Amino acid sequence: MRTPQSAVADFVGRRRPGATGDAAAPAVPRVLALPLAERDALLRKGELSAAELYGAAASWEPVADQRYRACAQLRVTTGESVDGAGGGHDGDEADGSGRGGGALRVGVKDTVDVRGFATRLGLRHYRHHPRESATVVAGLRRAEVNAKVITTELNIGVGSGCGNPYFPQFDPAGSSTGSAVAVAANICDVALGTDVLGSVRWPAGRCGVVGLRTTHDPAKLAGIFPLSPCMDAPGWVARTADDLAFAWRHLGLGEAPRLSAPSLRVGVPQELYRPGVIDPEIAGALDTASAALTSRGHRVASRPLGELWNCRAAAWELCAREAWDGHQVWRDRLVDELMPSTWRALETGAKVTDERLAEIRGSMAQLRAGVVELFAAESVDVWLMPLDPGVPRPRGMVVAASTIPDADDPAFEREVGFTPVASFAGLPAVTVPVGRDPEHGAPLAVQLVGRPGDDGSLIRLAQQLTTALEPLELRPA
């Protein structure tokens, strides 16, 4: 008769090598670690076979997910575009080679509907099986959705359970946690997330990868869980700015990224240099990015952000109130007992009065109507600002009681951060890693914020910024 100990040992022995707790991280297969454009070229020339690529992916993905816990649902990669995420291989043979470049492996946040996958919203006891994919997924070309990736509870809770592949001592943040982790772990080539107040940008920055919040467009939100529809936007995560640029065109998201002008006027908000607004390490990262952009011929200068700076606290109020209003519809459909942090965030929204809500929405409409003029008034094409006021905190420190900053907290001004600038104004923004904190090894990132519709120009600028910096040489842990 087997003992419980031997039965457990046998069960554990059935896992794949590389799980959390194993001595060392397994090596990512070389073909998966290649830049996407280089890999695509090898496929088209026949120097890399689809069988080799997708065989490596099918072997690697469960190993990586076992270690980093990025996926709510993982499917073995086959290399075929799936219905609702491409509907075929349009354009695969556009170079006349007779060989297609193949489908990109795409992870999708578990608040976005994909036909054939359950949507769970970060909850244990909820799921629905959509009849059709979200608009942003259905429009993809040459894509294979191979994973629904982890999100925090109802998009507004604290904690995900994911590991951080490159920076294991730091929490990967949220709420598009799985999107960043799956890309950093090479489970996916790119991943779709959503960004209300930084939900794509924070995890990307914490994981040392690149994250894009697209221009706010209500038409792109069908099939996406509505946390705060006024500010929400689809977002994309890629390992590098070059990979993001390749995916942007390859997936049919837009034309090949190009700058809106050869030499851009880059504004650094003057407000950042008030006492206590940013830590010295963050100021150093900002200086590094400024110097890199200057070296590429762009004109960097300090300018007042003005109205865009002043909207940040209101953005958090709006998010909380819209989340609360939406929950009044959802609550009868949910059986999960929500975590205290989720409830605190929702209850913060309940305190935002109808009068205050109307005031915020009026301010938002006015700001968005004149946002292009605000850029022009300061002679700015793009704003450069930090992702956070301070260095990311290591795991094990006090966990935030809520995702919504407390207005009574003495640190409230810092806690509202800088990501709401793009969100409240409906602007695109891309987060780029620029270095590490030498004392703790923490990832340091900046964000570039552009005018409405300047998504492609931001991607191209992120490419230029990255090439002007020293490589981070990141390795999975």
Instruction: Tell me which residue range forms the domain holding 459.
Output: 39-467
**In a 3-state reduction of DSSP, which class is residue 467?**
helix
Q: Is residue 9 part of a domain?
A: no
**What is the predicted pLDDT for the residue at 81?**
60
Is pLDDT of 35 > 60? yes
Is pLDDT of 270 > 60? yes
Give per-residue pLDDT as tens, 445-456. 999 999 999 999
Cα–Cα distance list, 186 to 33, 104, 189, 200, 343 (Å): 7, 12, 6, 17, 34
Q: Tokens representing 409?
A: 């907290």
Q: Is residue 48 part of a domain?
A: yes
353-359-360-362 Cα dihedral, nearest 10 degrees: 140
Contact 453, 368 (CB under 8 A): no
Is pLDDT of 124 > 50? yes
Q: Is residue 116 part of a domain?
A: yes
Q: Tokens representing 360?
A: 């915020």
Give per-residue pLDDT as tens, 357-384. 999 999 999 999 999 999 999 999 999 9
pTM: 0.93
Lowest mean pLDDT among 178-182, 218-222, 389-393: 389-393
Residue 401 — φ and ψ, nearest 5°?
-75, -20
Report how far residue 149's alpha carbon sits from residue 108's, in angstroms, rounded to the nearest whole number. 6
Q: Is residue 358 part of a domain?
A: yes
Q: Which residues of 12-45 are buried (b: 16+ CB within 10 A; e: fewer)?
A: eeeeeebeeeeeebbebbebbebebbebbebbbe
Cα–Cα distance list, 471 to 240, 467, 468 (Å): 11, 8, 9
Q: Which residues of 129-151 are buried (b: 16+ CB within 10 A; e: fewer)?
A: ebeebbbbbbbbbbbbbbbbbbb
* For residues 89-108, average pLDDT: 61
Q: Is residue 59 part of a domain?
A: yes
Q: Are strands 233-238 and 210-213 parallel, antiparallel or unpaired?
A: antiparallel
Is pLDDT of 1 > 80? no
Q: How many domains in the chain? A: 1
CA 61 distance to own-chain centroid: 20
SS (H, E, C) 23-39: CCCCCCCHHHHCCHHHH
Cα–Cα distance list, 98 to 62, 91, 388 (Å): 32, 11, 47
Residue tagged 């209850």 (tokens): 347
Confidence of residue 458 (pLDDT cuts 50, 70, 90): very high
Give per-residue pLDDT as tens, 143-167. 999 999 999 999 999 988 899 999 9
User: What's the mean pLDDT when you consider all of the chain?
Assistant: 92
Is pLDDT of 283 > 70? yes
Query: Closest Cα to residue 350, out of 371, 321, 327?
Result: 321
Q: Is residue 408 part of a domain?
A: yes
Report how far residue 196's alpha carbon sits from residue 200's, in angstroms, rounded to the nearest whole number. 8
Is pLDDT of 99 > 60? no
**What is the predicted pLDDT for the residue at 15?**
60
Is pLDDT of 404 > 80? yes
Q: Is residue 1 part of a domain?
A: no
* High-pLDDT (> 70) share of the chain, %: 90
For the domain that residue 400 is a member of, what is the CATH number? 3.90.1300.10
What is the torsional sign of CA 364, 370, 375, 381? positive
Report how far residue 44's alpha carbon sits from residue 367's, in angstroms, rounded to the nearest whole number. 47
Report how far residue 162's alpha carbon sits from residue 153's, in angstroms, rounded to the nearest whole number. 13
Q: Is residue 431 part of a domain?
A: yes
Is pLDDT of 8 > 80? no
